[in-house]
Amino acid sequence: MRGGAIPLLAWALLLSVLYAINVVWTGKGLDAAMAGFAVAATIVTALALAVRRPREALRSGPPPPSEEPKAIPTASYGSVLLAVGVAATVFGLSFAHFVVYFGGGLILVSLGLIAREGYLQRRALRRWREERQP
Amino acid sequence: MTIEDAPLVGDRRRSAGWVGAAISTDHKRIGLNLGLCSLVFFLAGGVMALFIRAQISQPNNHIVSDQAYSELFTMHGSTMIYLFVTPMAIALAIYLVPLQIGADEIAGGRTTLAGFWIWLLGGLTMEASWLANDGAGRDGWFSYTPLSESQYTPGVGQDLWTLGVILAVTGTTIMAATVVWTIARRRAPGMALLRMPVFTWTALVSVLMVVGSFPVLIAAMILLYLDRTAGTHFFVGFTGSIDYQDLFWFYGHPVVYVMFFPYLGAAAEAIAAAAHKRWFGYKAFVASMLAFSALSMSVWAHHMYTTGGSVNEAFAFTSTLLLIPAGVEYFDVLGTLIGGSIVLRTSMLFGLAFFLQFLIGGVSGIWIASPVLDYSNHDTYFIIGHFHYTLFAGSIFGFFAGVYHWFPKVTGAMLRERLGKLQLVVMVIGTNMTFFPMFILGQEGMVRRISRYPEHPGWGTLNLIESIGAGIIAIGVLIFLVNAWISLRDRVPAGADPWEGQTLEWWTSSPPPVLNFPEPLPPITSYAPLQDLREQARERERERVTT
């Protein structure tokens, strides 16, 4: 199978067998719910990998060389600000409510920054292509 | 081909110095930041442990108050588990996995960076509970209900602890998810699943467990916080308490293995490199890792045998099954050592100490996997001895095996071998002095989480030996810090591959550049591509001599 889903599916299968035994043996609803979550999370990840743009089978050797560049971010203020916003929101629940609003504001700003970083990333790629077109 | 700095094109130049390190999306920088911050939390947790040991070094000591003692053991356990051993395992994965699979970056660099900061701020929130008027978190690292409900543990300190756990575990989960994605999507051409290095496999099963089990703890902590502050009643009464324990241990047992597998991988890589031999029984090892991790997510209620709320037979069955994959790993170590050209490096010796000392933790685990035997040992020092042999004598020794093995790769400088071996000896002595007497005390009935105990014959002596052992461990850690400082000050250049490494991280320079591999990768036809190259070169040389 393509996309790296095999180990996840194998692991999900193992978990399913063990949890089936467990649920039959213990008969506890909460156990079944937790186990179901773990299996579902693994299968959903595996399916996401399988469905997303499939990659070349790795074992068959390297893919043909590509001149298409990748734009790789090396720094991100937005991500750090997003984390600070989330932490401030949670911390504020116990400390003071104004910190919750401050954190919410930071999250909005950070999402804007991340969107801008993504835009600049795409623009850099577009310009690279334009510069090389005859 | 890449466009480096793409998001900053036409915007601003990449920040340098501390700010640059803080906002970098390079997996090596994030892994290093995470590792260094974890190490600081480790030192803080270690200081708390010294206070704990000082208090109970003799019966009826009064170095700290009863409440301060509760805060100390709670924050020691929480700091070590949420803020050191688990994140350090993830730090190793973030730094090394992309290098080992031939990727030029981690998948979702921004997401990983956000995860790191959420974890760090969560850790600081947890530690901020020390500043609360009513004291820090004080209900143990698992914070059982009903004790942790607001009527029994009122105050902001416990609230901050709960929120800190939510943030720290959320950050860890996010970072682990990006490692899963990296392994799935960013492997180099030729790096098929059964060509991934041993460490990468241990990292993969660990991050799978994180993604599958950690969200359950986040949910439990949110419900606990609502119980404490919003007047809900999720964990009220016997059923509620058992439900909390089920939710907690669904995270709490897998996390033990998340704190074990990557260090097992580090020890395995160090041993294989020092034995100049491929890891023995690779496919059996991979299968055992998958089985080990799946089983470790099916044993959580063996922590609840005495509650009357779990079906003990079911969990005793799965807990005992863990012996099989564990046995495979020990068999693999022996197979790797036999016939190898062994060089007794510090990294390898730490790796061997990891396996030997973890064996004591594992064997005592068989004891408490049995409900009948566990009844007499539950909540005694036997349990403390058991899990410190797995998590300290095990994981920390595996961690140091990894540090001595990969320090040259990360810094470009060699650690001093003599100081390393001295550290090993000191730490082995200290560890066994500290944790082995706990088995005896536990068998004699000394219960955990007590700040003072009666003058039972022998207890004072054994506790004093443990406390002296804790001090010796601290000296061992100090020797490591001195070693790192000397090695970074008077650098002995490491070169790209000082150990004749087998995996791809040794193909690139030390430390690796941004985007990891400036040179084309070698052909990947096995899980040890550099060993393949060496063997091919030797074969050619033999043929040349023959002809």
User: H/E element holding B4?
Assistant: strand B2-4
Q: What is the pLDDT of residues B443-459, one digit of tens each?
A: 999 999 999 998 888 89
- C-beta atoms of B208 and A76 within 8 A: no
Q: What is the pLDDT of residues B173-231, one digit of tens each?
A: 999 999 999 998 888 888 888 899 999 999 999 999 999 999 999 999 999 999 999 99
| Cα angle: B283, vertex B285, B290; to 5 degrees | 100
Average pLDDT in the B344-349 region? 96
| Cα angle: B109, vertex B111, B115; to 5 degrees | 115
The shortest CB-CB distance from B189 to any of A58, A94, A121 is to A58
B118 part of contact set with chain A, CB < 8 Å: yes
Structure tokens at B252: 């709490």
- Angle B156-185/B66-80 helices, nearest 10 degrees? 10
- Write down the pLDDT at residue A50: 76
Four-point Cα dihedral B518, B519, B520, B521, nearest 10:
-90
Q: How far apart are alpha carbons B279 and B427 in whole angstroms?
A: 27
Q: How far apart are alpha carbons B309 and B457 in whole angstroms?
A: 36
Model confidence band, residue B5 (pLDDT cutoffs 50, 70, 90): very low
Q: Which residue of A has its CA nearest to B8?
A: A120
Q: How far apart are alpha carbons B206 and B89 in whole angstroms?
A: 9
The shortest CB-CB distance from B297 to any of A38, A58, A86 is to A38
- C-beta atoms of B122 and A87 within 8 A: yes
A20 part of contact set with chain B, CB < 8 Å: no
Tell me whether 0.95 is exceeded by the ipTM: no
Could you tell me which residue, A68 or A122, shows the higher pLDDT? A122
A98 part of contact set with chain B, CB < 8 Å: no
- Nearest one of B361, B350, B376, B302 to B326, comparing CA atoms: B361
- C-beta atoms of B298 and A15 within 8 A: yes
The shortest CB-CB distance from A18 to any of B113, B216, B318 is to B318
Residues B276 and B225: beta-carbon distance below 8 Å = no
- C-beta atoms of B25 and A79 within 8 A: yes
- Chain center to CA of B270: 16
Read off the amino acid at residue B489: R
Could you tell me which residue, B21 or A28, shows the higher pLDDT? B21
> Which residues neighbour A97 within 8 Å (Cβ) at sequence distance 6 or greater?
none
Q: How far apart are alpha carbons B300 and B243 in whole angstroms?
A: 12
Question: Has residue A46 got a pLDDT over 90?
Answer: no
Q: How far apart are alpha carbons B54 and B177 in whole angstroms?
A: 40
Average pLDDT in the B163-167 region? 97
Write the DSSP symbol of residue B327: H
Residues B467 and B56: beta-carbon distance below 8 Å = yes
Q: What is the pLDDT of residues B479-524, one digit of tens each?
A: 999 999 999 999 999 999 999 999 999 999 999 998 899 888 999 9
A16 part of contact set with chain B, CB < 8 Å: no
Residues A78 and A33: beta-carbon distance below 8 Å = no
Q: How far apart are alpha carbons A88 and A102 in whole angstroms?
A: 7
* In chain A, residues 54-93 whose CB comes closer than 8 Å to chain B: 55-56, 58-59, 61-63, 66-80, 82-84, 86-87, 90-91, 93
Q: What is the pLDDT of residues B247-302, one digit of tens each?
A: 999 999 999 999 999 999 999 999 999 999 999 999 999 999 999 999 999 999 99
B171 part of contact set with chain A, CB < 8 Å: yes
Q: How far apart are alpha carbons B351 and B386 in whole angstroms?
A: 19
A51 part of contact set with chain B, CB < 8 Å: no
- Write down the pLDDT at residue A35: 86
Q: Which residue of B has its CA nearest to A18?
A: B298
User: A104-108, B94-98, B106-110 — which is least confidently predicted?
Assistant: B106-110
Structure tokens at B13: 């130049």
Structure tokens at B52: 């704990």
Structure tokens at B471: 């001090």
Chain B residues lying within 8 Å of A22, measured CB to CB: 298, 314, 318
B236 part of contact set with chain A, CB < 8 Å: no
Structure tokens at B211: 């993604």
Q: How near does any CA of chain A get to the CA of B59, in Å?
A: 38
- C-beta atoms of A34 and B250 within 8 A: yes
* In chain B, residues 348-377 whose CB comes closer than 8 Å to chain A: none
- Chain center to CA of B269: 16
Four-point Cα dihedral B81, B85, B88, B94, nearest 10:
-80
> Which residues neighbour B40 within 8 Å (Cβ) at sequence distance 6 or greater?
none
Model confidence band, residue B65 (pLDDT cutoffs 50, 70, 90): very high
* In chain B, residues 458-487 whose CB comes closer than 8 Å to chain A: none
Model confidence band, residue B131 (pLDDT cutoffs 50, 70, 90): very high
Answer positive or negative: Cα dihedral of B231, B237, B241, B246. negative
Which residue bears the tokens 């959420």?
Answer: B118
Structure tokens at B209: 């467990």
Q: How near does any CA of chain A get to the CA of B24, in Å?
A: 4
> Which residues neighbour B266 within 8 Å (Cβ) at sequence distance 6 or greater?
B92, B199, B351, B398, B399, B401, B402, B405, B406
The shortest CB-CB distance from B110 to any of A56, A114, A128 is to A114
The shortest CB-CB distance from A76 to any of B25, B190, B208 is to B25
